[in-house]
Structure 1
Protein backbone atom coordinates (compact mmCIF):
# COMPACT_ATOMS: atom_id res chain seq x y z
CA UNK A 1 0.00 0.00 0.00
CA UNK A 2 2.81 2.41 0.90
CA UNK A 3 4.58 1.66 -2.40
CA UNK A 4 1.35 2.43 -4.29
CA UNK A 5 1.02 5.73 -2.41
CA UNK A 6 4.65 6.65 -3.21
CA UNK A 7 4.15 5.83 -6.89
CA UNK A 8 0.95 7.89 -7.00
CA UNK A 9 2.63 10.80 -5.21
CA UNK A 10 5.61 10.47 -7.56
CA UNK A 11 3.33 10.67 -10.59
CA UNK A 12 1.70 13.78 -9.17
CA UNK A 13 5.13 15.36 -8.65
CA UNK A 14 6.14 14.57 -12.24
CA UNK A 15 2.89 16.08 -13.57
CA UNK A 16 3.41 19.21 -11.44
CA UNK A 17 6.98 19.62 -12.80
CA UNK A 18 5.78 19.09 -16.36
CA UNK A 19 3.03 21.70 -15.95
CA UNK A 20 5.51 24.13 -14.39
CA UNK A 21 7.81 23.66 -17.38
CA UNK A 22 5.08 25.13 -19.61
CA UNK A 23 4.19 28.05 -17.33
CA UNK A 24 4.60 31.34 -19.15
CA UNK A 25 5.01 34.58 -17.19
CA UNK A 26 2.04 36.86 -17.74
CA UNK A 27 0.53 39.95 -16.17
CA UNK A 28 -2.91 38.39 -16.54
CA UNK A 29 -4.60 36.77 -13.55
CA UNK A 30 -5.17 33.02 -13.51
CA UNK A 31 -8.87 33.63 -14.29
CA UNK A 32 -7.97 35.93 -17.18
CA UNK A 33 -5.52 33.37 -18.55
CA UNK A 34 -8.19 30.69 -18.35
CA UNK A 35 -10.89 32.84 -19.99
CA UNK A 36 -8.73 34.35 -22.73
CA UNK A 37 -6.97 31.11 -23.64
CA UNK A 38 -10.30 29.27 -23.61
CA UNK A 39 -11.87 31.80 -25.97
CA UNK A 40 -8.84 31.85 -28.26
CA UNK A 41 -8.63 28.05 -28.36
CA UNK A 42 -12.29 27.85 -29.40
CA UNK A 43 -11.61 30.41 -32.13
CA UNK A 44 -8.53 28.44 -33.18
CA UNK A 45 -10.59 25.25 -33.49
CA UNK A 46 -13.06 27.13 -35.69
CA UNK A 47 -10.20 28.51 -37.79
CA UNK A 48 -8.87 24.99 -38.39
CA UNK A 49 -12.38 23.73 -39.26
CA UNK A 50 -12.91 26.63 -41.68
CA UNK A 51 -9.48 26.12 -43.20
CA UNK A 52 -10.13 22.47 -43.92
CA UNK A 53 -13.61 23.17 -45.32
CA UNK A 54 -12.19 25.93 -47.53
CA UNK A 55 -9.51 23.56 -48.85
CA UNK A 56 -12.11 20.79 -49.29
CA UNK A 57 -14.21 23.09 -51.48
CA UNK A 58 -11.06 24.33 -53.28
CA UNK A 59 -10.12 20.72 -54.12
CA UNK A 60 -13.64 19.75 -55.18
CA UNK A 61 -14.63 22.87 -57.12
CA UNK A 62 -16.15 22.32 -60.56
CA UNK A 63 -18.10 24.19 -63.20
CA UNK A 64 -17.74 27.13 -65.58
CA UNK A 65 -16.15 29.42 -62.96
CA UNK A 66 -13.74 26.73 -61.77
CA UNK A 67 -10.53 28.69 -62.18
CA UNK A 68 -11.76 31.86 -60.48
CA UNK A 69 -13.38 30.03 -57.55
CA UNK A 70 -10.50 27.57 -57.23
CA UNK A 71 -8.00 30.44 -56.97
CA UNK A 72 -10.25 32.46 -54.63
CA UNK A 73 -10.58 29.55 -52.21
CA UNK A 74 -6.86 28.79 -52.38
CA UNK A 75 -6.07 32.41 -51.48
CA UNK A 76 -8.63 32.39 -48.67
CA UNK A 77 -7.34 29.07 -47.36
CA UNK A 78 -3.82 30.48 -47.15
CA UNK A 79 -5.08 33.52 -45.26
CA UNK A 80 -7.08 31.40 -42.84
CA UNK A 81 -4.17 29.02 -42.19
CA UNK A 82 -1.84 31.98 -41.60
CA UNK A 83 -3.88 32.89 -38.50
CA UNK A 84 -3.39 29.52 -36.80
CA UNK A 85 0.14 29.95 -35.53
CA UNK A 86 -0.49 33.50 -34.33
CA UNK A 87 -3.60 32.46 -32.37
CA UNK A 88 -1.88 29.43 -30.83
CA UNK A 89 1.19 31.45 -29.89
CA UNK A 90 -1.02 34.14 -28.35
CA UNK A 91 -2.59 31.47 -26.13
CA UNK A 92 0.89 30.46 -24.96
CA UNK A 93 1.95 34.09 -24.44
CA UNK A 94 -0.95 34.67 -22.03
CA UNK A 95 0.02 31.56 -20.06
CA UNK A 96 -2.41 29.04 -21.49
CA UNK A 97 -2.03 25.71 -23.24
CA UNK A 98 -3.31 25.41 -26.76
CA UNK A 99 -4.78 22.74 -29.02
CA UNK A 100 -2.93 19.44 -29.16
CA UNK A 101 -4.75 17.27 -31.70
CA UNK A 102 -7.43 16.86 -34.34
CA UNK A 103 -9.61 15.37 -31.59
CA UNK A 104 -9.13 18.49 -29.47
CA UNK A 105 -10.15 20.63 -32.46
CA UNK A 106 -13.22 18.45 -33.03
CA UNK A 107 -14.30 18.86 -29.41
CA UNK A 108 -14.08 22.68 -29.57
CA UNK A 109 -15.07 23.55 -33.15
CA UNK A 110 -18.42 25.20 -33.76
CA UNK A 111 -18.14 25.45 -37.54
CA UNK A 112 -19.69 22.28 -38.96
CA UNK A 113 -17.82 19.96 -41.31
CA UNK A 114 -19.16 19.24 -44.78
CA UNK A 115 -18.45 15.67 -45.89
CA UNK A 116 -20.88 15.64 -48.82
CA UNK A 117 -19.71 13.86 -51.96
CA UNK A 118 -20.82 16.82 -54.09
CA UNK A 119 -21.61 20.43 -53.25
CA UNK A 120 -22.77 22.87 -55.91
CA UNK A 121 -20.21 25.68 -56.40
CA UNK A 122 -22.74 28.38 -55.46
CA UNK A 123 -23.63 26.43 -52.32
CA UNK A 124 -19.92 26.17 -51.48
CA UNK A 125 -19.52 29.94 -51.68
CA UNK A 126 -22.66 30.54 -49.61
CA UNK A 127 -21.65 28.03 -46.95
CA UNK A 128 -18.16 29.49 -46.65
CA UNK A 129 -19.63 33.01 -46.51
CA UNK A 130 -21.89 31.96 -43.62
CA UNK A 131 -19.08 30.08 -41.86
CA UNK A 132 -16.80 33.12 -42.11
CA UNK A 133 -19.68 35.15 -40.66
CA UNK A 134 -19.90 32.71 -37.74
CA UNK A 135 -16.14 32.95 -37.25
CA UNK A 136 -16.31 36.77 -37.19
CA UNK A 137 -19.04 36.54 -34.54
CA UNK A 138 -16.94 34.16 -32.43
CA UNK A 139 -13.92 36.43 -32.77
CA UNK A 140 -16.03 39.37 -31.58
CA UNK A 141 -17.11 37.29 -28.56
CA UNK A 142 -13.45 36.47 -27.84
CA UNK A 143 -12.62 40.17 -28.26
CA UNK A 144 -15.16 41.03 -25.55
CA UNK A 145 -13.54 38.51 -23.20
CA UNK A 146 -10.11 39.98 -23.94
CA UNK A 147 -11.46 43.48 -23.24
CA UNK A 148 -13.02 42.35 -19.97
CA UNK A 149 -9.73 40.78 -18.89
CA UNK A 150 -7.51 43.68 -20.01
CA UNK A 151 -5.73 41.69 -22.73
CA UNK A 152 -5.20 44.52 -25.19
CA UNK A 153 -2.76 42.61 -27.42
CA UNK A 154 -5.14 39.71 -28.07
CA UNK A 155 -8.00 42.16 -28.68
CA UNK A 156 -5.86 44.04 -31.19
CA UNK A 157 -4.96 40.87 -33.09
CA UNK A 158 -8.61 39.83 -33.14
CA UNK A 159 -9.52 43.17 -34.71
CA UNK A 160 -7.16 42.48 -37.60
CA UNK A 161 -8.49 38.95 -38.04
CA UNK A 162 -12.09 40.18 -37.95
CA UNK A 163 -11.27 42.65 -40.72
CA UNK A 164 -9.65 39.88 -42.81
CA UNK A 165 -12.67 37.64 -42.21
CA UNK A 166 -15.09 40.39 -43.26
CA UNK A 167 -13.09 40.78 -46.48
CA UNK A 168 -13.48 37.05 -47.16
CA UNK A 169 -17.22 37.35 -46.54
CA UNK A 170 -17.43 40.25 -48.98
CA UNK A 171 -15.53 38.37 -51.70
CA UNK A 172 -17.60 35.22 -51.21
CA UNK A 173 -20.80 37.27 -51.34
CA UNK A 174 -19.78 39.03 -54.56
CA UNK A 175 -18.50 35.83 -56.21
CA UNK A 176 -21.76 34.08 -55.32
CA UNK A 177 -24.09 36.69 -56.81
CA UNK A 178 -26.27 35.48 -59.64
CA UNK A 179 -26.96 37.67 -62.66
CA UNK A 180 -27.19 41.44 -62.18
CA UNK A 181 -28.52 41.22 -58.61
Structure 2
Protein backbone atom coordinates (compact mmCIF):
# COMPACT_ATOMS: atom_id res chain seq x y z
CA UNK A 1 0.00 0.00 0.00
CA UNK A 2 2.84 2.38 0.90
CA UNK A 3 4.50 1.85 -2.50
CA UNK A 4 1.27 2.57 -4.37
CA UNK A 5 0.77 5.84 -2.47
CA UNK A 6 4.38 6.85 -3.03
CA UNK A 7 4.15 6.04 -6.75
CA UNK A 8 0.89 7.98 -7.08
CA UNK A 9 2.48 10.92 -5.25
CA UNK A 10 5.51 10.80 -7.56
CA UNK A 11 3.27 10.80 -10.65
CA UNK A 12 1.30 13.78 -9.33
CA UNK A 13 4.54 15.66 -8.52
CA UNK A 14 5.86 15.01 -12.04
CA UNK A 15 2.65 16.33 -13.58
CA UNK A 16 3.05 19.55 -11.61
CA UNK A 17 6.82 19.85 -12.15
CA UNK A 18 7.88 17.46 -14.93
CA UNK A 19 11.56 18.48 -14.90
CA UNK A 20 12.25 17.75 -11.24
CA UNK A 21 14.93 15.07 -11.14
CA UNK A 22 14.86 12.82 -8.07
CA UNK A 23 17.75 13.61 -5.72
CA UNK A 24 18.73 12.97 -2.14
CA UNK A 25 19.42 16.70 -1.86
CA UNK A 26 16.69 18.78 -0.25
CA UNK A 27 14.85 21.54 -2.13
CA UNK A 28 17.02 24.32 -0.64
CA UNK A 29 20.21 22.53 -1.65
CA UNK A 30 18.91 22.01 -5.18
CA UNK A 31 17.91 25.67 -5.45
CA UNK A 32 21.23 26.94 -4.05
CA UNK A 33 23.38 24.64 -6.20
CA UNK A 34 21.37 25.29 -9.38
CA UNK A 35 21.56 29.04 -8.75
CA UNK A 36 25.31 29.01 -8.21
CA UNK A 37 25.97 26.74 -11.17
CA UNK A 38 23.67 28.66 -13.53
CA UNK A 39 25.72 31.76 -12.69
CA UNK A 40 28.86 29.82 -13.55
CA UNK A 41 27.25 28.56 -16.76
CA UNK A 42 26.32 32.12 -17.79
CA UNK A 43 29.90 33.24 -17.26
CA UNK A 44 31.26 30.24 -19.15
CA UNK A 45 29.06 31.06 -22.16
CA UNK A 46 30.07 34.74 -21.98
CA UNK A 47 33.77 33.85 -21.73
CA UNK A 48 33.47 31.32 -24.57
CA UNK A 49 31.91 33.87 -26.91
CA UNK A 50 34.40 36.59 -25.97
CA UNK A 51 37.32 34.18 -26.45
CA UNK A 52 36.00 33.23 -29.90
CA UNK A 53 35.37 36.91 -30.72
CA UNK A 54 38.99 37.77 -29.91
CA UNK A 55 40.18 34.63 -31.75
CA UNK A 56 38.31 35.74 -34.88
CA UNK A 57 39.49 39.34 -34.65
CA UNK A 58 43.13 38.80 -33.67
CA UNK A 59 45.75 40.66 -35.73
CA UNK A 60 49.37 41.68 -35.54
CA UNK A 61 52.82 40.07 -35.42
CA UNK A 62 51.78 37.33 -32.96
CA UNK A 63 48.60 36.51 -34.87
CA UNK A 64 49.21 32.80 -35.36
CA UNK A 65 50.29 32.08 -31.77
CA UNK A 66 47.47 34.11 -30.20
CA UNK A 67 44.88 32.82 -32.69
CA UNK A 68 45.77 29.22 -31.84
CA UNK A 69 45.99 29.91 -28.09
CA UNK A 70 42.52 31.43 -28.02
CA UNK A 71 41.06 28.66 -30.15
CA UNK A 72 42.45 26.03 -27.75
CA UNK A 73 41.08 27.96 -24.79
CA UNK A 74 37.66 28.34 -26.41
CA UNK A 75 37.43 24.58 -26.98
CA UNK A 76 38.25 23.96 -23.31
CA UNK A 77 35.73 26.55 -22.12
CA UNK A 78 32.95 25.26 -24.38
CA UNK A 79 33.54 21.71 -23.13
CA UNK A 80 32.44 22.88 -19.68
CA UNK A 81 28.97 23.99 -20.79
CA UNK A 82 27.25 20.64 -21.20
CA UNK A 83 28.85 19.18 -18.08
CA UNK A 84 27.65 22.13 -16.00
CA UNK A 85 24.11 22.04 -17.41
CA UNK A 86 23.84 18.29 -16.98
CA UNK A 87 25.14 18.53 -13.40
CA UNK A 88 22.43 21.11 -12.62
CA UNK A 89 19.80 18.72 -13.99
CA UNK A 90 21.25 15.74 -12.07
CA UNK A 91 20.77 17.52 -8.75
CA UNK A 92 17.18 18.45 -9.62
CA UNK A 93 17.54 21.97 -11.00
CA UNK A 94 16.82 23.54 -14.35
CA UNK A 95 19.34 25.33 -16.53
CA UNK A 96 19.66 28.47 -18.60
CA UNK A 97 17.13 28.78 -21.38
CA UNK A 98 18.24 31.70 -23.55
CA UNK A 99 20.80 34.36 -24.40
CA UNK A 100 18.69 36.76 -22.33
CA UNK A 101 18.91 34.43 -19.34
CA UNK A 102 22.70 34.34 -19.76
CA UNK A 103 22.80 38.15 -19.96
CA UNK A 104 20.87 38.47 -16.69
CA UNK A 105 23.27 36.19 -14.81
CA UNK A 106 26.70 36.83 -16.35
CA UNK A 107 29.39 38.72 -14.47
CA UNK A 108 31.86 38.59 -17.34
CA UNK A 109 31.22 41.63 -19.47
CA UNK A 110 30.82 41.53 -23.24
CA UNK A 111 33.21 43.39 -25.52
CA UNK A 112 31.53 44.73 -28.65
CA UNK A 113 34.38 47.04 -29.71
CA UNK A 114 35.17 47.16 -33.41
CA UNK A 115 38.88 46.75 -32.69
CA UNK A 116 40.84 45.67 -29.62
CA UNK A 117 44.64 45.61 -29.46
CA UNK A 118 45.98 42.04 -29.15
CA UNK A 119 47.59 42.66 -25.73
CA UNK A 120 44.36 44.25 -24.51
CA UNK A 121 42.50 41.13 -25.66
CA UNK A 122 44.86 38.89 -23.70
CA UNK A 123 44.68 41.13 -20.62
CA UNK A 124 40.88 41.26 -20.72
CA UNK A 125 40.59 37.49 -21.11
CA UNK A 126 43.09 37.01 -18.29
CA UNK A 127 40.94 39.14 -15.98
CA UNK A 128 37.77 37.40 -17.17
CA UNK A 129 39.27 34.01 -16.36
CA UNK A 130 40.10 35.34 -12.88
CA UNK A 131 36.45 36.39 -12.49
CA UNK A 132 35.34 32.92 -13.59
CA UNK A 133 37.76 31.34 -11.13
CA UNK A 134 36.30 33.43 -8.29
CA UNK A 135 32.77 32.42 -9.28
CA UNK A 136 33.81 28.77 -9.41
CA UNK A 137 35.23 29.07 -5.89
CA UNK A 138 31.95 30.62 -4.69
CA UNK A 139 29.97 27.81 -6.30
CA UNK A 140 32.34 25.26 -4.75
CA UNK A 141 31.52 26.71 -1.33
CA UNK A 142 27.78 26.40 -1.97
CA UNK A 143 28.12 22.82 -3.20
CA UNK A 144 30.42 21.88 -0.34
CA UNK A 145 27.95 23.33 2.17
CA UNK A 146 25.30 20.95 0.78
CA UNK A 147 27.70 17.97 0.56
CA UNK A 148 27.41 17.83 -3.24
CA UNK A 149 30.65 15.97 -3.85
CA UNK A 150 29.88 15.31 -7.53
CA UNK A 151 29.71 19.00 -8.37
CA UNK A 152 32.59 20.05 -6.12
CA UNK A 153 34.91 17.52 -7.75
CA UNK A 154 34.07 18.86 -11.22
CA UNK A 155 34.53 22.44 -10.05
CA UNK A 156 38.00 21.61 -8.74
CA UNK A 157 39.05 20.48 -12.23
CA UNK A 158 37.53 23.59 -13.80
CA UNK A 159 39.35 25.83 -11.33
CA UNK A 160 42.64 24.20 -12.32
CA UNK A 161 41.85 24.64 -16.03
CA UNK A 162 40.84 28.26 -15.49
CA UNK A 163 44.02 29.00 -13.55
CA UNK A 164 46.02 27.46 -16.39
CA UNK A 165 44.27 29.66 -18.96
CA UNK A 166 44.97 32.71 -16.77
CA UNK A 167 48.64 31.73 -16.53
CA UNK A 168 48.98 31.18 -20.29
CA UNK A 169 47.33 34.53 -21.04
CA UNK A 170 49.65 36.22 -18.53
CA UNK A 171 52.76 34.64 -20.04
CA UNK A 172 51.66 35.34 -23.62
CA UNK A 173 51.21 39.04 -22.84
CA UNK A 174 54.37 39.56 -20.73
CA UNK A 175 56.51 40.92 -23.52
CA UNK A 176 54.73 44.28 -23.49
CA UNK A 177 53.38 44.39 -19.91
CA UNK A 178 56.11 43.58 -17.40
CA UNK A 179 53.70 43.24 -14.47
CA UNK A 180 50.99 41.25 -16.24
CA UNK A 181 48.45 42.55 -13.72
| TM-score higher than 0.5 | yes
Contact 2:14 2:20 in 1 (8 A): no
> TM-score by structure 1 length?
0.89
Residue of structure 1 aligned with 2:51, choices 51, 54, 63: 54
Moved over 6 A (4+): none
Equivalent-residue separation in structure 2 for 1:118 and 1:101 (angstroms)? 27
Please report how far the alpha carbon of residue 20 of structure 1 lies from its aligned counterpart in structure 2 after TM superposition. Answer: 2.5
In structure 2, the partner of 1:35 is: 32
Q: How far apart, in 2, do the equivalents of 1:20 and 1:124 lie?
A: 44
The count of aligned residue pairs is: 166
Whole-angstrom distance in 1 between the partners of 2:14 and 2:172: 53
Match of 2:87 among 83, 87, 90: 90
C-alpha separation in 1, matches of 2:84 and 2:128: 18
- Unpaired segments of 5 or more residues in structure 1? 1-15
Counterpart-to-counterpart distance in 1, 2:81 and 2:177: 37
Correspondence for 2:120 among 117, 123, 148: 123
1:129-168 alignment runs, 5 A limit: 129-168=126-165
In the other structure, the counterpart of 1:101 is: 98
Q: Normalized against structure 2, the TM-score is what?
A: 0.89
Work out the CA distance in 2 between the residues paired with 1:142 and 1:21: 26
- Deviating more after overlay: 110-119 vs 17-26: 17-26
RMSD: 1.3
- The offset of 1:180, in angstroms, is 9.8
- In structure 2, the gaps of 5 or more residues are 1-12
**Superposed displacement of residue 153, structure 1:** 0.7
User: 2:19 is matched with which residue?
Assistant: 22
Shift of 1:18: 5.4
Distance in 2 between the 1:74 and 1:82 partners? Answer: 12
